[in-house]
Amino acid sequence: MTTSHYIAGRWVEGQGSDCISVNDPALGQPFAELMAASVAQVDQAVTAARGALPAWKNTSASERATYLRGFAEQLGQRREALITLQMRNNGKPRHEAEIDLDDAITTFSYYAELAEQLPSKNRDVPLAAPGFTARTRLEPVGVVGLIVPWNFPLVTSAWKLAPALAAGCTVVLKPSEVTPLIEQAYGQIADALGLPAGVLNIVNGKAETGAALSNHNGLDKLSFTGSNSVGSQVMRSASAQCRPVTLELGGKSAIVVFDDCDVDQAVEWIVAGITWNAGQMCSATSRLLVQDGIADALLTRLQAALENLRVGNPLTEEVDMGPLTSQAQWLKVASYFATAREEGLQCLAGGKALDRDGWFVSPTLYADVPKDSRLWTEEIFGPVLCARRFATEEQAIAEANDSRFGLVATVCSADLERAERVADALEVGHVWINSVQAVFVETSWGGTKGSGIGRELGPWGLSAYQSVKHVTRCLG
């Protein structure tokens, strides 16, 4: 696969120096390779987006909505191929890959509806001062660079691409080098729909390609999802040009379980929060805070539940959890297992890489983890759960908030008034009460503290790609 870049409405071969190997993590073997885009090709993509902007931003909202619905329909038509590719390149179990695809489809459909509801470009603004009139306009922010991660390809790109197109922006999308293939579907769909050339451009590559895009002076905005270390580099690039950024970064999220909660139900929510996508999600609730009265019973059942999870190759087995997506992530998680042994942590389940082909680790539970442990404070990005006990509601809130991250949290309690009170006190961007991590396109996504800047999804996701202009006229 060499024609892996979509620039100015054409598929082109990569001219960069990096060769990207695309791996099947269940086997630990490559199944495709492609050449990265060169710095010159990134420039060509931005130039194409800049050239397409005047015409695209002046299309009607209903016309843009038609294209967005076309993306949703075309994703559905490619359903089985995209699900299989998610399973093969990410190691996702089938039910997770199906949900990811449905999420992307729903996102395009939602922003098609939102585009049609956009107000007229001009809206009068009442003024207290006589002799003047004023109006406001919502305009697309311009050409945007979208950099997306490997843990939820197709989904994260939909969360950015759909609102950007709805707002009238043109885009350059850079997928992760770990999972570069599935986003090519968006280029294929653009061709099938007759999307004007240059409105959507896709460039694949490693750090050099990402840096070339982040540093390009032809962008009006950057939107990045990924690690804090790379996010800080993206922010530095944006600051040099004084342009806006949206950053969705890491998390070290808490799940708080009170002793009035049904144990079996709590175990279900906890397991889902740490093993979905093999724990490779910024929203993983990897810090378990459990009230003293229920702690022993819950940890015993949680240990059994994790040990009974079916871990394997999603293409050949019925599994609950697949492998880690890359060898680098497998090595990182294994290093935390070694740290846990050095720190003398109490391991109730897992704590090891599995002795088989591919990048598999066991679902892991550590009990009574000290607050100064690296495993308690650092984002691991794997199915590694650390538990601590608490006595009072105030203690639970304080320990949950004691983190440099602030993305999400979950509260489990039969006392709904207390659950709502705790949810209000948590310093995060999204809280679930008595639920798995159900994410709806109508709600916002993003965090506080070190978890990022800005919000995606909902009307907030659309406004992130709009700028506000006021026009004031003197009547004299």
Q: Is 118 helix (H, G, I), strand (E, B) or coil?
A: coil
Q: Say if residues 218 and 50 touch (Cβ distance below 8 Å).
A: yes
Q: Select from 179, 405, 105, 454 the least CA-distant residue to 282.
A: 405
Tens-place pLDDT, residues 129-160: 999 999 999 999 999 999 999 999 999 999 99
What is the 8-class DSSP label of residue 427?
A: -
Q: Select from 181, 232, 177 the least CA-distant residue to 208.
A: 177
Structure tokens at 421: 């009170």
Give residue for tokens 């759960």: 385
Distance between CA atoms of residues 292 and 277, nearest Å: 30
Bridge partners of residue 7, in order along the sequence = 10
Residue 3 has what pLDDT?
A: 65
- Whole-prediction pTM: 0.96
Distance between CA atoms of residues 160 and 471, nearest Å: 29
CB-based contacts of 457, cutoff 8 Å, min separation 6: 107, 159, 439, 440, 441, 442, 443, 444, 445
The CA distances from residue 126 to 120, 131, 212, in Å, are 16, 12, 45
Residues of the chain below pLDDT 50: 1
Residue 476 has what pLDDT?
A: 82
Distance between CA atoms of residues 154 and 135, nearest Å: 38
61-77 helix and 155-167 helix, angle to the nearest 10 degrees: 160
CB-based contacts of 424, cutoff 8 Å, min separation 6: none
Distance between CA atoms of residues 161 and 64, nearest Å: 12
| For the chain, percent of residues with pLDDT exceeding 90 | 96
Structure tokens at 10: 């054409």
Start-to-end CA span in the chain (Å):
65
Residue 119 has what pLDDT?
A: 75
**Structural domains for the chain:** 5-249+451-474 (3.40.605.10), 254-440 (3.40.309.10)
Bridge partners of residue 19, in order along the sequence = 35
Q: Select from 356, 355, 361, 306 the least CA-distant residue to 331.
A: 361
Q: Say if residues 26 and 322 touch (Cβ distance below 8 Å).
A: yes
Active site residues: 248, 282
Bridge partners of residue 474, in order along the sequence = 132
